[in-house]
């Protein structure tokens, strides 16, 4: 009788473990999120105006998870607040709120009322998906790359386990450049984001000279994170 009881306990324990989600295997630990967590980024941006003006800006961006709720379908949604300041000696100024929806298959972040599928689950090297599948924009194929790779931050910090989501890698230096990618670190979340979108002069007198007529260069990298 004792032997049968022991077998039942072992079987029950195995069933319980199977029922628990494996966040590491799914890849959810590359996008850890709970109320009270925050990340602080340094943002460097260059805007090229059609008028020929070039505007450079640098500031700090804070992303803080302030609330969460389940909708009627049982999907968990978090509310993040975006705040900005010019440097560490100035106060944070609230900018906007972005919801993040977590499902067993994907992580959807809504930016300025437009939802984007940031990660497709489970993670897999070379995996592709339409980042615009949840909005009305045309198809935009994202690709997962370099899972569990080492990453050296702009501050020379070493992060042992990251994955890269390549959103676009069009580097045509004759007509236009559209280079967008994000790097996520295990147990940290987003650590680097780059968005370069440039239109080059195509007139006969300047074509091929990489003369920017309009566009932007946006780089965002992590400088602090934690939980309140």
Q: pLDDT tens digits for 106-137?
A: 999 999 999 999 999 999 999 999 999 999 99
* pLDDT at 2 > cutoff 50: no
Angle at 134 between CA 180 and CA 162, to 5 degrees: 40
**In the prediction, which pLDDT does 22 show?**
62
Query: Is there a domain that residue 82 lies in?
Result: yes
Q: For 29-33, 99-103, 155-159, 167-171, which range has the lowest pLDDT when averaged over its residues? A: 155-159
Structural domains of the chain, count: 1
CB proximity list for 158: less than 8 A, separation 6 or greater: 150, 151, 152
Residue 227, domain member (yes or no): no
Per-residue pLDDT for 167 more than 70? yes
Q: What is the pTM of this model?
A: 0.86
User: Is residue 189 situated within a structural domain?
Assistant: yes
Q: For residue 148, give its domain range.
A: 22-222
Q: 8 in a domain, yes or no?
A: no
pLDDT at 174 over 90: no
User: Over 60: is that where the pLDDT of 88 sits?
Assistant: yes
As a whole number of Å, the end-to-end CA separation of the chain is: 51
- Is residue 160 one of the residues assigned to a domain? yes
Strands of the sheet with 37-48, listed across from one edge? 114-120, 106-111, 93-102, 76-85, 54-70, 37-48, 212-227, 189-200, 176-185, 158-172, 141-152, 128-130
Least confident of 17-26, 182-191, 200-209: 17-26
Mean pLDDT score, 34-58: 95
Distance CA 215, CA 54 (A): 10
The pLDDT, as a whole number, for residue 23 is 66
Structure token digits, residue 50? 């059609």
Task: Give pLDDT, residue 89.
Answer: 94
Q: Is residue 16 part of a domain?
A: no
Inside any domain, residue 4: no
The whole-number average pLDDT for the span 159-169 is: 95
Q: Give 70's pLDDT tier (boundaries 50, 70, 90).
A: very high
- Domain presence at residue 153: yes
């Amino acid at each position: 009788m004792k032997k049968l009881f022991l077998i039942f306990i072992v079987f029950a324990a195995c069933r319980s473990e199977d029922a628990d989600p494996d966040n590491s295997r799914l890849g959810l630990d590359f996008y850890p999120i709970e109320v009270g967590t925050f990340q602080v980024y340094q943002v460097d941006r260059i805007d090229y105006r059609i008028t020929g003006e070039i505007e450079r800006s640098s500031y700090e961006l804070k992303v803080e998870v302030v609330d969460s709720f389940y909708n009627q379908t049982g999907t968990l949604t978090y509310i993040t607040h975006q705040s900005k300041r010019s440097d560490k000696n100035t106060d944070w100024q609230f900018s906007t709120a972005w919801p993040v929806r977590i499902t067993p298959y994907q992580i959807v972040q809504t930016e300025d009322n437009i939802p984007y599928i940031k990660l497709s689950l489970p993670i897999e090297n070379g995996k592709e998906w339409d980042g615009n599948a949840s909005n009305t924009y045309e198809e935009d194929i994202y690709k997962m790359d370099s899972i569990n790779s080492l990453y050296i931050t702009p501050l020379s910090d070493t992060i042992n386990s990251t994955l890269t989501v390549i959103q676009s890698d069009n580097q045509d230096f004759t007509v236009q450049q559209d280079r967008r990618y994000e790097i996520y670190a295990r147990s940290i979340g987003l650590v680097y984001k780059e968005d370069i979108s440039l239109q080059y002069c195509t007139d006969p007198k300047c074509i091929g000279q990489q003369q920017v007529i309009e566009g932007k260069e946006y780089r965002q990298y992590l400088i602090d994170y934690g939980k309140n």
